[in-house]
Amino acid sequence: MPKDTFNNLSAEKKRIIFDAAVQEFSTRRFSEASINQIIKTAGISRGSFYQYFNDKEDIYLYMIMEIGKEKLEVLSHTEALNPDADFFENFLHMTRVALTWAKTKPDYNQVGLLMELDDSEFIAKLRALSTEGLAIIKGMVERDKQRGLIRQEINSDLVVEMMYTLNINLLKDIYRNGSEEEMLKKMADMYDIIKGGIARV
Amino acid sequence: MPKDTFNNLSAEKKRIIFDAAVQEFSTRRFSEASINQIIKTAGISRGSFYQYFNDKEDIYLYMIMEIGKEKLEVLSHTEALNPDADFFENFLHMTRVALTWAKTKPDYNQVGLLMELDDSEFIAKLRALSTEGLAIIKGMVERDKQRGLIRQEINSDLVVEMMYTLNINLLKDIYRNGSEEEMLKKMADMYDIIKGGIARV
DNA sequence: ATTCAATATGACAACCCTGTCATATGACAA
DNA sequence: TTGTCATATGACAGGGTTGTCATATTGAAT
């Protein structure tokens, strides 16, 4: 929730400030990021910053919302998957999309990863808000239980947690770990393990 | 590598300083931890600190080594597992031991978790050093492949990485997530999924 | 008791950071 | 042109951090 003064700014100037924020928050985690750095990059004065935002949380929130909008914009243009696809197909598809997104907007992705690393009060609250995604995934697991694709006695929450954890973990390596295909392969292999187990039958 | 001056100190005084370090590094991650705080807690002067250690890295390393020694001391008294036990039994056993350790020395455990959260140059290097553990686990996986307990085509490294990631993730919840048994149950369930998969056969 | 080396100390410089506020600048209206 | 309101500015206070260094204290040996 930036102040009115900020909203009155020209789109270009807003963009400059947004970019500066992204640059800072993709480099240092929230608690270590510095307003000083942002205003230097954006080329605005200290006083102006506080005329635009209340504090660091304020601009962070604004930035996250903007990123969210952009992401939604892109994702809405993504081809939908066959509605009958099973959990794994769905998840892999989501992973593919997420991976592409991360490659397209590496800065935005970094912001997300650093968010995962942060443990400040504020970020914890923020993270707690973005759990609807997990509910959807859980729904997919349970549908597959209904359809007899996944065993009844499996704990859906646990599966979701595992997949989520592994997914985040893999995203961390994204810039180290060479090509997109390699990463997708790795993900697919992990999912196969979750699906079929590693034990010899 | 503390300086000689530190090593000449009485065991009690060394312990006081070690404890102060643990207190600080179990509360704030390395990059955010403050020498000021440590000297305040330990009740020593700023000047003395720099007569004992070169800098924050120095005392951190010392602390990690000490913790390592203590841990080794405890673990060496842990009953060994049946040498024929399979990978999962072994891993679960290790988990059990790790969990007990974490409950016994919550501060030390916190230090480790915060290390996992940190992304500073220094901590990254440090973490890279502690990978021998993973090699052992990989060895166990491969032995089970030999014995025909785990399918040949499974990628051992991947399995190790998955187990490790899930394990760390679970340790994070340790203070939130109630009882030790609950956690062990959760771990066991996760391992079951890795072992047998979630798909209906 | 005196001397001398080891150790302890905290004031200090230098560098970060944040949030405020009096003042300057701009732009538009009367 | 002058007044007024919105916006821009950077100096400033107050807080944090680290590493150094001249000085004080201690303790042990002569």
pLDDT in tens, A122-140: 999 999 888 888 898 899 9
Mean pLDDT over B112-128 rounds to: 92
| pLDDT, position A143 | 94
The arithmetic mean of pLDDT across residues B125-151, rounded, is 90
Q: B20 pLDDT exceeds 90?
A: yes
pLDDT for residue A24: 98
> A128-132, A139-143, B99-103, B157-161: which has the minimum mean pLDDT?
A128-132
In strand C, the nucleotides that come within 7 Å of a protein beta carbon are 6-12, 16-22
**Window from A138-147, B65-74, B178-187 with minimum mean pLDDT:** B178-187
Give CA separation, A82 vs A90, A175, B159, in Å. Answer: 9, 30, 30
Residues B142 and B156: beta-carbon distance below 8 Å? yes
pLDDT band at B170 (very low <50, low <70, confident <90, very high): confident
Give the pLDDT of residue B177. Answer: 65
pLDDT band at B11 (very low <50, low <70, confident <90, very high): very high
Say yes or no to pLDDT of A18 above 70: yes
In this complex, the residue with its CA at the shortest distance from the C1' of nucleotide C20 is A47
Average model confidence (pLDDT) for chain A?
A: 92
Residue A154 is predicted with a pLDDT of 93
- pLDDT for residue A164: 92
pLDDT at A176: 74
Average pLDDT estimate for A1-22: 97
Mean predicted lDDT score pLDDT of chain B: 92
A183 has a pLDDT exceeding 80: yes
Higher-pLDDT residue of B201 and A165 is A165
Position B173 confidence tier, pLDDT thresholds 50, 70, 90: confident
Interval B72-84 mean pLDDT? 85
**pLDDT in the model for residue B77:** 87
Domains of chain B: 4-196 (1.10.357.10)
Find which of A43-52, A99-108, B132-141 is predicted with most confidence, using mean pLDDT.
A43-52
Long-range contacts of A73-77 (CB under 8 A, 24+ apart): A74/A101, A74/A104, A75/A101
Closest residue in A to B120 (Cα) is A28
Flag whether pLDDT at A80 surpasses 80.
no
Would the CA dihedral through A20, A25, A30, A33 be positive or negative? negative
Say what the pLDDT of residue B44 is: 98
Q: Got the DSSP string for chain B? A: ---HHHHTS-HHHHHHHHHHHHHHHTTS-GGG--HHHHHHHHT--HHHHHHH-SSHHHHHHHHHHHHHHHHHHHHHTSPPPPTT--HHHHHHHHHHHHHHHHHH-HHHHHHHHHHHH---HHHHHHHHH--HHHHHHHHHHHHHHHTTSB-TTS-HHHHHHHHHHHHHHHHHGGGTS--HHHHHHHHHHHHHHHHH-SB--
Q: What pLDDT score was predicted for residue A73?
A: 92
State mean pLDDT over B47-52: 98
* Model pLDDT for residues A145-158, shown as the tens digit of each residue: 999 999 999 999 99
Q: Give the nucleotide at minimum CA-to-C1' distance from B49.
A: C8
Most confident of B94-98, B105-109, B166-170: B105-109
Residues of A with CB under 8 A from a CB of B: 29, 31-32, 114, 117, 119, 148-151, 154-155, 158-159, 161-162, 165-166, 169, 186, 189-190, 193-201
User: Do B197 and A195 lie within an 8 Å CB cutoff?
Assistant: yes
Q: In this predicted structure, what is the pLDDT of residue B132?
A: 81
Residue closest to C8, CA→C1'? Answer: B48
| Average pLDDT rounded to a whole number, residues A175-190 | 85
Q: What is the pTM of this model?
A: 0.92
pLDDT of A177 higher than 70: no
Q: What confidence category does residue B79 fall into, taking pLDDT thresholds of 50, 70 and 90?
A: confident
Whether the pLDDT of residue B108 is over 90: the answer is: yes
The whole-number pLDDT of residue A119 equals 87
Residues near chain C (nucleic strand), Cβ < 7 A?
A 33-37, 46-47, 50, 55-56; B 4-5, 8-9, 44-48, 50-52
- For the cut 80, the answer to whether the pLDDT of residue A169 exceeds it is yes
Mean pLDDT of B86-102: 89
